[in-house]
């Protein structure tokens, strides 16, 4: 998508590893600018949930591809409302369960599944007025977006954030319980997606020592630099 001075066609592409804060930040940025929001990771989780629900072998690439191709996946574009459905089933909460986190990389690592889901994500990007976040958004889904950002954080910061989210504490036991879901998943996903280093033209924001409000402010600053209409909106509605 070519650069734009208007919010009508704007796409903000945000990548980052687990625990970098990309989902929360993306929702806040979308709400602030009056844009839609797409969590691409939820699509892979929804397919993983459906595969387990139907008793599919996650090593059966053809079966997974057939499922991803035929599935009707619906996500609310409202950044303040989390809603995910697949073939009519409400899986908003279910796809966040540990059993899904443990296997979603097998779904995301299927290149044919990725091709189908990326195609759908690119359709959303083509309509514009959206913040899209995930693993390879800045390089594959929306490489021509006027705003492309990679959120990063050191491993300890990411582990603490996810431990706090999942266990309500950052003690040693919680960190240990969280380690595999962060480090292993990122290692597995990095084999098929680019989200650990910033590609050319992508702005990197290290969130390790920043609070949520600070990260949101920094992302909005980058958006305002790249899209004059966004700068005007932010000035009018502080």
Question: How far apart are alpha carbons 177 and 172 in whole angstroms?
Answer: 9
Does the annotation flag 34 for ligand binding? Answer: no
Q: 18 labelled as ligand-binding?
A: yes
Task: Check residue 20 and give its pLDDT.
Answer: 82
Among 177, 175, 173, 149, residue whose Cα is nearest residue 161: 175
Tokens 């090593």 sit at which residue?
Answer: 59
> What pLDDT does residue 172 have?
74
Tokens of 195: 């989200």
Cα distance between residue 110 and residue 114, in whole Å: 6
Element (H, E) at 36: strand 36-39
Place of tokens 């004059």: 228
The response to whether 43 counts as a known ligand-binding position is no
Residue 194 assigned as binding residue: no
pLDDT at 192: 56
Q: For the CA atoms of the chain, what is the radius of gyration?
A: 17
Length of the chain: 238
**CA angle at 175 for the pair 173 and 178, rounded to the nearest 5°:** 110
User: Is residue 201 annotated as involved in ligand binding?
Assistant: no
pTM of the predicted structure, to 2 decimals: 0.86
Helix, strand, or coil (residue 166): helix
Residue 147, classified by CB atoms within 10 Å of its CB into exposed (0-12), middle (13-18) or buried (19+), is buried
Residue carrying the six token digits 């909460």 = 93
| CA-to-CA dists, residue 212 to 37, 79, 90, 200, 207, angstroms | 18, 16, 29, 26, 8
Asked if residue 101 belongs to a known ligand binding site, the reply is: no
61 marked among binding-site residues: no
Sequence spans of domains, the chain: 11-231
Helix (H, G, I), strand (E, B) or coil at 48: helix
What DSSP element (H or E) covers 234?
A: helix 228-236
pLDDT on residue 103:
92
Task: Return per-residue pLDDT of the chain as tens, 238 residues.
Answer: 444 556 888 999 999 887 788 999 999 999 999 999 999 999 999 999 999 999 999 999 999 999 999 999 999 999 999 999 999 999 999 999 989 988 998 999 999 999 999 999 999 999 999 999 998 999 999 999 999 999 998 888 788 777 777 677 777 777 777 777 676 666 666 555 555 677 889 999 999 888 899 999 999 999 999 999 898 889 888 7
Residue labelled with tokens 């991803």: 68
Write the DSSP symbol of residue 154: -
Do the annotations mark residue 79 as ligand-binding? no
Superfamily of structural domain 11-231: P-loop containing nucleotide triphosphate hydrolases (3.40.50.300)
19 assigned to a ligand binding site: yes
């Amino acid at each position: 998508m070519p650069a734009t001075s208007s919010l009508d066609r704007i796409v903000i592409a945000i990548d980052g590893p687990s625990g970098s804060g990309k989902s929360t930040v993306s929702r806040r940025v979308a709400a602030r600018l009056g844009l839609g929001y797409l969590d691409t990771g939820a699509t892979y989780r929804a397919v993983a949930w459906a595969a387990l629900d139907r008793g599919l072998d996650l090593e059966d690439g053809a079966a997974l591809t057939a499922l991803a191709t035929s599935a009707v996946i619906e996500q609310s574009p409202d950044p303040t409302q989390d809603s995910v459905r697949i073939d009519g089933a409400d899986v908003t909460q279910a796809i966040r369960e540990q059993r899904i986190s443990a296997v979603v990389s097998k779904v995301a690592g299927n290149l044919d599944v990725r091709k189908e889901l990326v195609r759908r994500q690119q359709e959303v990007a083509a309509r514009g007025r959206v913040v899209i976040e995930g693993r390879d958004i800045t390089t594959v889904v929306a490489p021509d977006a006027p705003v492309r950002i990679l959120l990063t954080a050191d491993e300890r910061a990411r582990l603490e954030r996810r431990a706090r989210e999942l266990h309500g504490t950052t003690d040693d036991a919680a960190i240990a319980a969280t380690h595999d879901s962060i480090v292993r998943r990122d290692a597995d996903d990095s084999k098929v997606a680019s989200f650990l280093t910033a590609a050319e033209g992508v702005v990197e924001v290290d969130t390790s020592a920043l609070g949520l409000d600070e990260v949101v402010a920094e992302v909005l600053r980058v958006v305002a630099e790249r899209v004059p209409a966004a700068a005007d909106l932010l000035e009018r509605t502080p």
